[in-house]
Amino acid sequence: MQITYNNEKSIFKIDTENSSYIMMIRRNGYLQHLYYGAYVSDFDLEYLITDMVNESFSPWAPSAGVKYFALDIQPQEYSCNGTGDYRVSAFSVETSKGNSSTSLKYLSHEIFDGKKGLKGLPSTYVNDKTEAKTLEISMKDEVSGALVILSYSVISGFDAIMRSVRVKNNSDTPFFIEKVYSTCVDFNDKDYDLIHLYGTWAAERSIERKPLIKGIQEIASKRGSSSHNHNPFIALVSHDTTEDFGSAYGFALCYSGNFSAKVEVDTFDQTRVIMGINPEDFKWKLFPGEEFTAPEAIMVYSGTGIGGMSRQMHKIIRKHICRGKYKNIRRPILINNWEATYFNFDTEKLLKIAKAAVPLGIEMLVMDDGWFGVRNDESASIGDWVVNEKKLPGGLSALTKELNKLGMKFGLWFEPEIVSFNSDLYRAHPDWCLHVDGYDRSVGRETAVLDFTRKEVVDHVFNMVSNVLRSADISYVKWDFNRNLTEVGSDALPSDQQKEVFHRYVLGVYDLAERLTSTFPDILFEGCSGGGGRFDCGMFYYFPQIWTSDDTDAFERCKIQYGTSIAYPASVMSAHVSASPNHQTGRSMPFKTRGNVATSGSFGYELDLSIISDEEKEMVKYQVNRYKELYNTIVCGDNYRIIDPFTNNRWCAWEYVSEDKSQAVLTYVVTKSNIKGRYLLKLKGLLPDAVYREKESGRTYRGDTLMNAGLNLGKDFQDGDSEILVFDKI
């Protein structure tokens, strides 16, 4: 980890453990990109830039001091709009005269130990400033007076660069930020595939891999959340890159609202990547002396394939994004009542489930939707966070006391950003939801979205939720968000600031999350948005785990969890064993397989334990005890993807290896048996010379044998068969 500046050559070099990032102040203040990739010893890579003549049919920049210096064909460190670079640009401002031509020139820089936080936004962090180094480069647009600070941070032990951008108005008149992407990287070739994670409700984060094309490709959301549809993560990988070999670049945005990731290949076969706040429906009025902070982007380079990239992302998230009490300790194994009862429950039913759960080793009961107001279906009461004592006599205090007597902790569900049209809150404050006068208020699950741009609204929700959390012994909160934003306007802002609402809304969500998690540090907060609709690094800063998907079908979860692992670790994936037939797909699956798949995450159950068979209860005991034993390897270990369910329709497999490589946990699931096929696989990530004993059979293998010769699992499988095999170093 090192950041250096060569004063003679005006070159910046950022080194991580195994990668280098190099840029140069060139041509009268233009900051140009030279290199990003595997570590190189040299810093003077200016020779990689070709000062082409006017081949692009593009005007050249007189301020560069040399003829034919066309920005359109030059690698830029942070591209601007309207002054000669016609590719996708990262930054532009609209001045008081109404034009958007923007040009940033180098002003100064600073290199220091440590890493700053971002005002009002989640970001990676370090506990000791010696763990990180930061470079801040100040750039200025002379016409608008915009001062742009480009920030680059590296953390010891990681092949990651964290980038963020701040914009200050150093003029005496307001201007509008039209777009401010968090990162911009130019590559001098086009020989990459683009990987992104797409999906929909109950089918999140499927893997798409396609070669880059000439032109512009964009992955984005404009729903007000990062969304089920497209995740704020992309990767560029060489055409021949596999799970274990080749170059891979990962880009993740620490942001939970509208985002955009664009990749453009130009006519000279150069590739540009930009990622940040989606400029559609965004415009920020920056007054003199004010500063705007863009969210952080995480860039990871791997020379050991997609798997190496993923493991770097996993460690960054686990160690430098997730915070709080539950960052490093085992989280309680829970039973959620939703699929057991839906809205039809009372204290007696909940205690019946809890009494069945306690002897099985389950540690917490979570009460889901329906405990407040007059909430007996989806039509009413969200926003009225007052306990329904007809269902729960004596309130939460009475219920938690009974649960505590059983030795069980308690958690409950909230949807703090939403208000039902049929609620006391909406009747009292109909203007407190996002709306645009003259348009009908769109209906989603009989609700609207609260206007979190308004401090009084956030304060009200904080007070209501806090009162509930203080009323009883509550150890867990599931924060749900089942509604995308529509009619995005606010009565609290003037007409020329209405396009700030999307971003201000996200800032309001972060403000509430920060206040609640800091006020109640002993509570485990889990995020949810109709399952995995807001599964991003921004939310992980507040919630160390997120409900991965509303689809709990084990076959479907194989794909969902496998795709999610491209960017995100098992520690943040909530995974539950649910009923069979499954409530989402109607598919019947063995209890064993449901447990095996759910073991690859933050583990729990979502069914009525009081009505399952004695045999299944014994299986719950076994699964719970096994998860506790394997927790550190699964949640804190390295993840290796073995068999890809998106390309193999017969089966899938994945593996976790402890950090010290003393244990490996292999899971496989047969999705479609083949009587003529054999099931062979090779493990990864072991010590070649070590001896490992497979726990169930007692058979021993050397690490290199398991990785190179592999295992023969046999062929007498049925659809839905699954095993977890544990290998311990002896």
Residue corresponding to tokens 């200050």:
168
- 3-class SS of residue 71: helix
Q: HEC states along 360-414?
A: HCCCEEEECCCCECCCCCCCCCCCCCCECCCCCCCHHHHHHHHHHHCCCEEEEEE
Task: Of 406, 396, 412, 411, give the one whose Cα is nearest residue 354.
Answer: 406
Q: What confidence score (pLDDT) does residue 129 get?
A: 93
Q: Are strands 651-657 and 663-670 parallel, antiparallel or unpaired?
A: antiparallel
Question: 71 and 84 in contact (C-beta within 8 Å)?
Answer: yes
226 beta partners? none
Q: What confidence score (pLDDT) does residue 721 get?
A: 94
From the candidate CATH numbers 3.30.70.790, 3.30.360.10, 3.40.630.10, 2.60.40.1180, the one assigned to the domain spanning 642-729: 2.60.40.1180
Annotated catalytic residue within 369, 536, 550, 638: 550
Backbone angles phi, psi at 683, to 5 degrees: -80, 170
CA dihedral sign, ordered 6, 9, 12, 16: negative
Please give the angle made by the CA atoms of 93, 94 and 99, to the nearest 5 degrees.
125
pLDDT grade, residue 678 (50/70/90)? confident
Q: What confidence score (pLDDT) does residue 699 get?
A: 97
Per-residue pLDDT at 495 exceeds 90: yes
Residue corresponding to tokens 């608008």:
144
Each residue of 505-523: b (16+ CB within 10 Å) or e?
A: bbbbbbbbbebbbeebeeb
Give me 14's structure tokens: 């950022």
- Rounded Cα–Cα distance for residues 251 and 640 (Å): 20
pLDDT grade, residue 709 (50/70/90)? very high
Q: What is the DSSP letter of 619?
A: H
Please give the angle made by the CA atoms of 331, 335 and 340, to the nearest 5 degrees.
160
pLDDT grade, residue 91 (50/70/90)? very high
- Rounded Cα–Cα distance for residues 307 and 654 (Å): 11
Give me 570's structure tokens: 């098992």
C-alpha distances out from residue 720 to 108, 240, 597, 606, 709, Å? 61, 33, 11, 19, 26
- 3-class SS of residue 689: coil
Task: Of 381, 397, 379, 377, give the one whose Cα is nearest residue 389.
Answer: 397
- 3-class SS of residue 130: helix
Task: Of 80, 136, 68, give the one whose Cα is nearest residue 105.
Answer: 80
Mean pLDDT within 569-592 = 96
Q: What confidence score (pLDDT) does residue 715 get?
A: 74
550 is catalytic: yes
- 3-class SS of residue 95: coil
Q: What confidence score (pLDDT) does residue 69 get?
A: 79
- Contacts with 179 (C-beta within 8 Å, 6 or more apart), sequence order: 81, 89, 90, 91, 92, 276, 277, 279, 282
pLDDT grade, residue 106 (50/70/90)? very high
Q: What confidence score (pLDDT) does residue 126 get?
A: 97
The percentage of residues in the chain with a pLDDT greater than 70, rounded to a whole number, is: 98
Rounded to the nearest 10 degrees, how much is the dihedral formed by the CA atoms of 447, 338, 543, 564? Answer: -100
Give me 249's structure tokens: 């670049």
Q: Which region, left, alpha or beta, applies to residue 400 given φ > 0 means left and ψ of -120 to 50 means alpha?
A: alpha
Question: How much is the pTM?
Answer: 0.96
Question: 265 and 151 in contact (C-beta within 8 Å)?
Answer: no
Q: Are strands 248-253 and 230-238 parallel, antiparallel or unpaired?
A: antiparallel
Mean pLDDT of the chain: 95
Q: Which tens digit of pLDDT belongs to each residue from 595-608?
A: 999 999 999 999 99
Q: What confidence score (pLDDT) does residue 55 get?
A: 63
Give me 98's structure tokens: 């109404």
Q: Which tens digit of pLDDT belongs to each residue from 30-81?
A: 999 999 999 999 999 999 987 655 566 777 677 767 777 788 888 999 999 9
HSE-up (13 A, CA, CB side) for residue 13: 20
Q: What confidence score (pLDDT) does residue 54 get?
A: 56
Mean pLDDT within 647-651 = 92
Q: Which tens digit of pLDDT belongs to each residue from 530-546?
A: 999 999 999 999 999 99
DSSP string for 209-264? EEE--SEEEEEEE-SSSS-SSEEEEEEEEETT--SSSB-EEEEEE--SSSEEEEEE
- H/E stretch holding 185 reads strand 175-187
Mean pLDDT within 487-491 = 97
- 3-class SS of residue 173: coil
Q: Which tens digit of pLDDT belongs to each residue from 267-306?
A: 999 999 999 999 999 999 999 999 999 999 999 999 999 9
Q: What confidence score (pLDDT) does residue 632 get?
A: 96
- 3-class SS of residue 114: coil
Give me 96's structure tokens: 């008081």
Q: What confidence score (pLDDT) does residue 59 get?
A: 74
Calculate the CA 340 to chain-centre distance.
29
CA dihedral sign, ordered 619, 625, 629, 634: positive
Considering the domain 332-636 in this protein, what is its CATH number? 3.20.20.70
Sketch the domain layout of the chain as residue ranges: 2-320, 332-636, 642-729
Task: Of 106, 107, 75, give the one whose Cα is nearest residue 90.
Answer: 75
- Rounded Cα–Cα distance for residues 720 and 677 (Å): 16
- Rounded Cα–Cα distance for residues 419 and 384 (Å): 8
- 474 CB-contact burial (10 Å; exposed 0-12 / middle 13-18 / buried 19+): buried
Mean pLDDT within 1-12 = 95
Task: Of 254, 320, 301, 1, give the one whose Cα is nearest residue 135.
Answer: 1
In the chain the first and final C-alpha atoms are separated, in Å, by 35
- Contacts with 308 (C-beta within 8 Å, 6 or more apart), sequence order: 244, 248, 302
Annotated catalytic residue within 384, 480, 553, 721: 480
Lowest model confidence (mean pLDDT) among 41-50, 180-189, 418-427: 41-50
- Rounded Cα–Cα distance for residues 481 and 458 (Å): 15
Question: Any idea how long the chain is?
Answer: 730
Q: What is the DSSP letter of 565?
A: T
Q: What confidence score (pLDDT) does residue 68 get?
A: 72
Q: What confidence score (pLDDT) does residue 317 get?
A: 98
Mean pLDDT within 6-25 = 96
Residue corresponding to tokens 């696989």:
681
Q: What confidence score (pLDDT) does residue 64 get?
A: 66
Q: HEC states along 446-484?
A: CEEEECCCCHHHHHHHHHHHHHHHHCCCCCEEEECCCCC
- Rounded Cα–Cα distance for residues 669 and 667 (Å): 7
Q: What is the DSSP letter of 437?
A: T
Considering the domain 2-320 in this protein, what is its CATH number? 2.70.98.60
203 beta partners? 200
Q: What confidence score (pLDDT) does residue 51 get?
A: 67
Domains 2-320 and 332-636 share a fold: no
Task: Of 49, 25, 50, 18, give the one whose Cα is nearest residue 35.
Answer: 49
- Rounded Cα–Cα distance for residues 8 and 5 (Å): 9
Q: Which tens digit of pLDDT belongs to each residue from 241-264?
A: 999 999 999 999 999 999 999 999
The percentage of residues in the chain with a pLDDT greater than 90, rounded to a whole number, is: 91
Calculate the CA 469 to chain-centre distance.
27
